Each structure stands twice: as structure tokens, then as C-alpha cells.
A and B are shown apart, each in its own frame.
Chain A
């Protein structure tokens, strides 16, 4: 199993550009989520999904959209990039929605810089 994969590893955008961060998992996990990691702030939840066709907002959703058309994929879209979105983005998955005791499996991250 490849686990959780993310592409690209690095990306530089100009203010106002849009892009999609890709996330895929091959473990048949129902729960998937996106976090951003900023220095001194830990990881903060952006959006999450408990299954195909179901998404919801996390702690910091503004400026980001998600969709979940398949169990495997959970892309994160930046509609109009801003310098405040410069961060490292992590995708994570977990087998059972509603089970807070489950381990979450993280991808390797995407480092995004917005100029």
C-alpha cells in the first residue's frame, strides 16, 4: 500500500492564482481531512469528509474548497491564493468516521508559497 499520497510536494503561486492540491489514499478509509501547519501554531483542520459525497468545514475553511467524489480522493482547492495561505498542507485519513479513537494516517505534505 502506498498509504496517503499528496501532490505536488512544492508549489509557488502568485497572489490571485488558483490551484488544486491532490490527496489520495489506497486504504479504503472513509474519513479524510486537510490540515495546514504554520510555525508556532501546530496543525489546524481546514475541511474534512466522512465519506464520498459528504464534506464539512473545520477550524480554518475560508479560502478553500473541497469535494469527495470517490472514497480514494480528496482534493483541496485554493480559489484565489493569498500570502496568508503560505503554509505546509497535510492530508490525513482514518478508517472509521465517528471513531475518535482511530489513528490518523498522514501524507508527506505539500509546501505552498504564495507571493
Chain B
């Protein structure tokens, strides 16, 4: 079984400031790692994913994430946020051994202020 922890339920940040959203996971098997974004009143869409290889993964809208196996973390970062980045961000994992089932974290609400 897997679990995902997003310790920060809300992160306020000023526009053009950097941001980091934290994600830690626990699993007895190897996992794939994902970040999804949910804009207000919309469904989720994929930001980026880590499957294997380079631990630094770049996604859409200038976001990137770094996989750290020893710390079982997959933190999401953006060097300069924009008002349009205001959304809820979900970290998720799936089992590399097969199956499409995603286990989600509880989400982090990013609020970008002027």
C-alpha cells in the first residue's frame, strides 16, 4: 500500500516570488510520482511526472519537481509564480508493478497575491 503526505494545506505567496510545495510518500514497492493541478471549478490536469532517470523533472507552466529517493520526497517548485498559478495542487503515486490506480495526497492550496 502507498500513502502520500502533503503537509501544507495552504501556501500563500506574493506574485513573482518562488514557491515550493512539499510532498512525501510512503510505499513498500517502487512508485511513479505525479503532480496534478486543479484550477477553480475544474477537473485535474497533469503538471508533470517522474517515471525514471533524471531526478529533476520539468513540467508545464514553468513548474519542476525533484525526486529524492532517500527522503522519499517529490517537492514541486516554481522560481516565479503568477496570479494564474492560484489553484490546488495534488501529489500522487502509482505502483510501477502494474495498474493505473492513483493514490493522492490531500492537496495544497496555492494562493498567489499581488
Query: CA–CA, A103 to B46, complex, Å?
Result: 7
Q: In the complex the two chains form, what is the Cα distance from A50 to B98 in whole Å?
A: 12
Chain A residues, CB < 8 A from B45: 106
Interface: A71 (CB within 8 A): no
> B104 contacts A42, CB within 8 Å?
yes
Q: Are A102 and B105 in contact (CB under 8 A)?
A: no
Interface size class of A (residues with CB under 8 A): 20 to 34
Contacts of B44 in A (CB 8 A): 43, 90, 92, 104, 106
Q: Quick check: A100 and B106 within 8 Å, CB to CB?
A: no
Contacts of B43 in A (CB 8 A): 4, 90, 106-109
**A27-53 CB contact bits vs B (8 Å, 1 = yes)?**
000010101000011111100101000
Q: A40-B9, A101-B32 are in contact. Are A45 and B102 (CB under 8 A)?
A: yes
